[in-house]
A and B are shown apart, each in its own frame.
Chain A
Amino acid sequence: MRLLRNLVLTSVLVAPAIAWAAPTDDEMVQMLKVIDDRQMNNGDYKSLVYIESKQQDKSDLAYQVVVYRRDLDDKLVILFLKPAAQAGQGYLRVDNNLFMYDPTVGQWERRTERERIGGTDSNRQDFDQSRLHEEYTPKFVGEEQLGTYTVNHLELDAKDGADVAYPVLQLWIDEPTGNVLKRQDLAVSGRLMRTTYYPEWQKLYSDSKGGDVYFPKEIRIFDEVEKGNKTTIVIQEVDLHSLDDSIFTKAWLESKSR
């Protein structure tokens, strides 16, 4: 009788622990792959984006930009449309190199991964395709509650040689949907640099992919070093039709300001 009671008690105590067991390394990599694959389109990607940034001691910034992506070739173009003073300015990513074009001086400059797009708190990776499973090695932190959401909290360490702005990420992934809800970027020193929230995700069917492409409807970035600085990115329109090859060239970006 005592044995039976012990067995029942053990089962009651152990069962939840088994149910909440930490995911294996492969499972965590799989989580990241899901995040990356969902946002990737086999064909091209074009979105109209509104960026608003509030910074201490400075005037608020507001931009309208168009983002062009060709995920299979790792190509990215960000073209500024508004305000008029910035119209024609743009970024081009080719072969892991990020270049910025300033039409006022008609010159290209190579920029790093830490480049603040248009002087806001956003980086190239906020607009580019997600490559988390290629660039980072995940580590499970725990299952947590983020507001009303149950999330898996992962810590990601950059792989050697990965060209990333932040060597360590903290990621909170919604358990039921697999979407990223919160992300924190840390410096080499371990200092928290940015906290990013993804309050809403949307999806669009892609003919070229033969499935849905996910994109965050809104991204809210909070600067954790310069407290009070924050940037909001709103993705207004997404178009998954194929783009002209010439778009991903310096000549095309230069032509937009002529």
Chain B
Amino acid sequence: MRVLLVIAIRNLVQARRRTALLSTAIGLVTMLLVLLMAMSAGISDNLVKSATLLSAGHVNVGGFFKPTSGSVAPLVTNVAEIRQIVQENTPELDYMIDRNRGWGKLIGPTGHTVQSGLSGVDIDTESHMLEVIQPAFEDEYKPNGRHEIVGDPKRLSEPNTALIFVGQAKRLEVGVGDTITVQTETLGGRSNTADLTVVAVARDIGLLSGFSIYVPKKVCYDLYQLSPDTTGAVWVYLKNIDDADAVMKHLREVFAQKGYRVMDHEAAPFWMKFEGVQGEDWVGQKLDLTTWSDEVSFLMWVITAFDTVTFALVAVLLVIIVVGITNTMWNTVRERTREVGTMRAIGMRRQMVGALFMTEATLLGLFATTTGAFLGSVLAKGIDLAGIGVPVDAMKMILLSDSIHMSVHPLSVLGAIVVLTGVTALAAVWPAIRASLLQPVKALAHAE
């Protein structure tokens, strides 16, 4: 084996130019694959971050209330009892909050409007949100604004206040201290409004923050004419997000056993269920339990699409690489026919000849993919640390972030090295077999 390695390395070193060209090609493909995987993982991270901040807990106990069979509201009654049941039946629980859900038109003082969801929060219980939300500098949303943060999300404890995001602030032409009007309708379908003072403007968190503002719960109670014992959904955060599915299934059974009417599980956000629920013939309360991924299932297409493009791109490049390696190895076998004949004449077995060419290809692949993966990882990390902003809205939508976020997972990088090295080795199988089948006499005569 050692002899094979030595011969293979010597052959690779001797054919420096060919080795360098092939290594560069394989290395670039590996680097591209690592970069694309880091980008995909970054989008996934952004999705989890924005989803679990803006749209859902790891598990959500939400539901619909129907005062009449033809009308429906996304709310849960008896919230204290529901919270207690979750507390007592979720050993995996880290913490939980509850938020009101609403939808309305935001109107700025200049008359510009934005449609947005309303999240009614009790800011004293929102430590996670306060950690993740990044207040924006005034000059990020206001022309000639100061390069300093002028708002404070904690002021959501004050009545009739709102935290909005940079995109909304620009659209409405407002800043901290300005008043916006929310226009919506009560549970009974009557027009209602609230004038809210903007107390903080936060940096956008991808697509979802464009459709969210935070307000104190009291604003939602007043706007929708609800009692304080109601909420939009109880957001359950677990110690390990991977337990979300199991916990959701368990809580569904628990609530059903306790006599609650629980809707069939549907992997869709609550607002996509309105029409279906509205058409159903029942009144009163039904609970709807979902996981965070259910609530952002409409965004999963971004990751699926990105991964599909990545796969297609890398597959095309790999085909090119395979053709290149096979062709190069054919040439190598032809150039070294006499050498093969000599080795066979002095007693090297057929299998050893085949193994020699395979070892050459594998060593070439391993060196090239490892180098490419290393460079790709370093580049991905550098881009991530640079926090490069995305100026195009369409790209923000795809990346689910305002800046390029890349996340390098060591296992993914190792997988890329193994797969691409394997492909390189496989590309050499047929030339290696042909080399091993050469007759020593013919091989020795071939060169002349």
Taking Cβ atoms with an 8 Å cutoff, the residues of A that contact B are 56-57, 97, 109-110, 112-114, 158, 163-167, 185, 187-189, 191, 193, 225-228
Given contacts A56-B111, A57-B112, A226-B113, contact A112 B185 (CB under 8 A): yes
Asked if A188 meets B183 with Cβ closer than 8 Å, knowing A114-B191, A226-B113, the reply is: no
Residues from chain B with Cβ under 8 Å of A225 in the complex: 107, 181, 183, 193
The CA-CA distance from A210 to B185 in the complex, in Å, is: 40
Q: Point out the residues of chain A lying under 8 angstroms from B107, CB to CB.
A: 225-226
| Set A57, A110, A164: member contacting B190, Cβ < 8 A | A164
Q: Hey, which chain A residues are within 8 Å of B192, CB to CB? A: 187-189
Q: Are A193 and B113 in contact (CB under 8 A)?
A: no
Contact assessment for A113 and B70 in the assembled complex, using a CB-CB cutoff below 8 Å: no
Given contacts A56-B112, A225-B183, A227-B111, contact A187 B191 (CB under 8 A): yes
List B242-287 residues whose CB lies under 8 Å from chain A. 275, 278
Residues in B with CB closer than 8 Å to A113 are: 189-190
Contacts of A185 in B (CB 8 A): 191
B225 close to chain A: CB less than 8 A: yes
Q: Which residue on A lies nearest to B224, using beta carbons?
A: A188
Please count how many residues in chain B sit with their CB below 8 Å of the partner chain's CB atoms. 20
* Known contacts A109-B275, A112-B185, A226-B107: A191-B113 contact under CB 8 Å: no
Q: A97-B70, A110-B70, A225-B181 are in contact. Are A188 and B111 (CB under 8 A)?
A: no
Q: Which residues in chain B, 175-202, are within 8 Å of chain A measured between CB atoms?
A: 181, 183, 185-186, 189-195
Task: Report the minimum CB–CB distance from A33 to chain B (whole Å).
Answer: 23
**Does the CB pair A165–B193 fall under 8 Å?**
no
In this complex, the member of A57, A112, A167, A187 whose beta carbon has the largest number of chain B beta carbons within 10 angstroms is A187
Partner of B185, one of A97, A110, A114: A114
Residue pair A166, B275 in contact (C-beta under 8 Å): no
Are B113 and A110 closer than 8 Å at their CB atoms? no
Please measure, in the bound complex, the distance between the C-alpha atom of A164 and the C-alpha atom of B190, giving whole angstroms: 6
Please tell me if the beta carbons of B190 and A165 are within 8 angstroms of each other in the complex: yes
* Given A57-B112, A165-B189: 12 more A-B contacts, CB < 8 Å: A57-B111, A110-B278, A113-B189, A114-B191, A164-B190, A165-B191, A166-B190, A167-B191, A188-B225, A189-B192, A225-B181, A225-B183
Are B111 and A114 neighbours in the complex by a CB distance under 8 Å?
no
- In the bound complex, residues from chain B placing their C-beta under 8 Å from that of A97 are 70
Contact A193 B191 (CB under 8 A): yes
Q: Please, how many angstroms separate the alpha-carbon atoms of A185 and B191 in the complex?
A: 9
7 tightest Cβ-Cβ pairs between the two chains A and B: A188-B192, A187-B191, A191-B193, A112-B189, A187-B193, A56-B111, A189-B193
In the complex, A191 Cα to B179 Cα: how many Å?
A: 15
Q: Which residue of A is nearest B171, CB measured?
A: A57
In the bound complex, how far is the Cα of B186 from the Cα of A112, in angstroms? 11
- From residue A167, how far is it (CB to closest CB) to chain B in Å? 5
State A163–B193 Cα separation when bound (angstroms).
Answer: 18
Q: A56-B111, A188-B186, A225-B183 are in contact. Are A193 and B278 (CB under 8 A)?
A: no
Task: Give A45 to B169 CA distance when docked, in angstroms.
Answer: 47
| Given A165-B191, A189-B193, CB of A226 within 8 Å of CB of B111 | yes
Q: How far is the CB of B30 from chain A (nearest CB, A)?
A: 46
A170 CB, nearest partner CB in chain B, Å: 14
Q: Complex Cα distance A240/B112, Å?
A: 42
CA distance A136 to B113 in the complex (A): 31
Taken together as a complex, chains A and B put the C-alpha atoms of A109 and B195 apart, in Å, by: 30
A169 to chain B, nearest CB (A): 11
Q: Tell me the bound Cα distance from A114 to B105 in angstroms.
A: 13
B195 to chain A, nearest CB (A): 8
Q: What separation, in Å, do the CA atoms of A78 and B35 have in the docked complex?
A: 56
A41 to B359, CA, bound (A): 95
Most buried by A among B191, B192, B222: B191
Inter-chain contact A188/B112, CB cutoff 8 Å: no
B307 to chain A, nearest CB (A): 30
Nearest CB on B from A19, distance (A): 38
Q: CA of A167 to CA of B192 in the docked complex: distance in angstroms?
A: 9
Q: Name the residue of chain B whose CB is nearest to the CB of A163.
A: B189
Q: Which residue of A lies closest to B186 (CB)?
A: A188
**Which A residues are CB-close (under 8 A) to B183?**
187, 193, 225
For residue A56, which residues in chain B have a CB less than 8 angstroms away from its CB?
Answer: 111-113
A187 to B225, CA, bound (A): 12
Q: How far is the CB of B180 from chain A (nearest CB, A)?
A: 11
Supply 8 A–B pairs (Cβ within 8 Å), ascending by A.
Answer: A56-B111, A110-B278, A164-B190, A188-B225, A189-B192, A189-B193, A225-B181, A225-B193
A83 to B378, CA, bound (A): 57
Does B111 contact A166, Cβ atoms closer than 8 Å? no
Q: How far is the CA of A56 from the CA of B110 in the complex (A)?
A: 10
Q: Which of B190, B195, B278 contacts A158 (CB 8 A)?
A: B190
CA distance A49 to B193 in the complex (A): 30
Nearest neighbor of A194 in chain B, beta-carbon distance: B191
Tell me, in angstroms, the Cα distance from A91 to B225 when the chains sit together. Answer: 28
